[in-house]
Amino acid sequence: MVNIRASARLNFSGGNMQTVYDSQNYHVIEYAGIDGFEVTNKAAHAFAYFHGPMATAFRDNLAKVIAEDPSVDSVDEFLGGLDSLMVVPAVLH
């Protein structure tokens, strides 16, 4: 069972930043105050940022996937379909 709303939440000047999904392969953060999502492929060390209508479409499609099959494998498969969009290097410093 996937928990789409995790408890990790931070405040920033634009609103709230909340982890909505975390697995061995992917990490998804929602930026509620600015209608954005950051999706990270942990293995590739890359991420994509969705804002505005793209964020709305991402949210709706993620909710559909979870409603149909709330498993980590199902959500990871959906997120894997976005791998080609995750081109921004994720750098830890």
- Cα–Cα distance between 58 and 81 in angstroms, integer? 12
Within a domain: residue 39?
A: yes
Within a domain: residue 2?
A: no
| DSSP H or E stretch at residue 18 | strand 15-22
- 21 is written with which tokens? 């999904």
Give the chain's end-to-end CA distance (angstroms, integer).
33
Within a domain: residue 51?
A: yes
Q: What is the mean pLDDT of residues 83-93?
A: 82
The boundaries of the domain holding residue 40 are 9-89
pLDDT of residue 70: 87
Split into its structural domains, the chain has a count of 1
Among residues 11, 55, 64, 63, the alpha carbon closest in space to that of 35 is found at 55
Within a domain: residue 3?
A: no
Query: What pTM, to 2 d.p., does this model score?
Result: 0.80
Taking only the tens place, the pLDDT of each residue in 31-69 is 988 889 999 999 999 999 999 999 999 999 999 999 999
